[in-house]
Amino acid sequence: MDTLELNAFPAVAANATSTLTTSELVDKTLHALVFELGGTTFNKTHISNIRVRVDGKDIIDGITGAQLLDLNEYDGITDVTDYLILPFGDPTANTFRGKHLGDIDFSIYRHPIEIEVAIGAATAPTLKVYARAFSVGKVDLNAGFSPVEAASFRALVRSVIQTSAAVTRQSVGVSIGSSAGARLRRVSMFHANLTSVDFRKGSLVKQDDISAALNNAIGVFAGRVNQSGLYPLDFVVNGDQGESEMTVKPDGTPWNLKLAITTSNADTITAFSDILTTHPQL
């Protein structure tokens, strides 16, 4: 895998959004973006939004630097000062194929990538971005990717859930894209008062009103690192990408996915559906 410094952001400043549009990754397979933060004072907490867009559709949007850091640290990716990684593949997966299932194949999507970083009250910030990428498409990695898998990539779809008081098993909705067919890896919920989560797929019970404490323990058993204020409804907790939840049945009809939450008080929950999808499904 190669490490490539992408073109410079045309402008980087505090209280502004830095935007880079580049075709440098066309015909390559993107595994991760690595942001290098420099200047007098500029760290992950100063990033209020990261947005990645390809051919008119957002792959990532609405995630802060601190939230992305929490997702990475939950996966066991240790924080490194002045650097923030945005993985599309999963470096914690159990196989080479699993590690790169979420990579973006720009030999299929032969379009520029748009990268936006909204910077808050930093002081004289500087910003560079690097790509960890293969020089060929996913099929040419000889990992056995089918055409659909080669076209699939990781996306984070943001939803906001609000409760005005404590609730018990209240049904809520989270977005998984605009059309059926995505595979759901995880729903990462940033919260203040979430105490348990129930998830059902049709008549199948997948998460039986599991408390935050028990959910954290299961994560620890699987080698994950708990983060304060984060409840991960994690179907790939063991690193097996094949355990991601199919959102359609074999006959192509959508599953009825039912997510219910219990809270100890009013809450505003920012949820990120971590999905494997294709561009038309976003």
Q: What is the pLDDT of residues 44-83, one digit of tens each?
A: 999 999 999 999 999 999 999 999 999 999 999 999 999 9
Contact in structure between 244 and 184 (CB atoms under 8 Å): yes
pLDDT of residue 180: 72
Nearest to 109 by CA among 154, 54, 163: 54
- Amino acid 216: pLDDT: 97
- What pLDDT sits at residue 181? 81
Full DSSP string of the chain: -EEEEPPPPS---TTEEEEEEE-TTTTSEEEEEEEEEEEEE--GGGEEEEEEEETTEEEEEEE-HHHHHHHHHHTT---BTTEEEEESS-TTSSSHHHHHTT-EETTTS-S-EEEEEEE-S-EEEEEEEEEEEESS-SGGGTS---HHHHH-EEEEEEEEEEESS--SSEEE-----SSS--EEEEEEEE-SSEEEEEEEETTEEEEEEEEHHHHHHHHHHTT----TTEEEEETTTTS-GGGSEESB-TTSPBP-EEEEEEESS-EEEEEEEEEEE-GGG-
Torsion angle in degrees (nearest 10) through CA of 92, 49, 2, 282:
70
The pLDDT, as a whole number, for residue 10 is 95
Give residue 249's pLDDT: 87
User: In the prediction, which pLDDT does 111 show?
Assistant: 96
Q: For residue 199, give the nearest of 176, 222, 226 by alpha carbon.
A: 176
What is the value of pTM for the model shown? 0.94
Residues sharing a CB contact under 8 Å with residue 236, sequence separation 6 or more, in sequence order: 90, 93, 185, 186, 243, 244
Tens-binned pLDDT, residue by residue, of the chain (282 aa): 999 999 999 999 999 999 999 999 999 999 999 999 999 999 999 999 999 999 999 999 999 999 999 999 999 999 999 999 999 999 999 999 999 999 999 999 999 999 999 999 999 999 999 999 999 999 999 999 999 999 999 999 999 999 999 999 999 999 887 667 889 999 999 999 999 999 999 899 999 999 999 999 999 999 999 999 999 999 999 999 989 999 988 888 889 999 999 999 999 999 999 999 999 888
What residues pair up with 196 in beta bridges, in sequence order? 211, 262
CA angle (234, 240, 243) in 5-degree steps: 60
pLDDT for position 213: 97
- On the 0-12 / 13-18 / 19+ scale of CB atoms within 10 A, 152 is buried
Q: Identify the pLDDT of residue 263.
A: 97
pLDDT at 281: 85
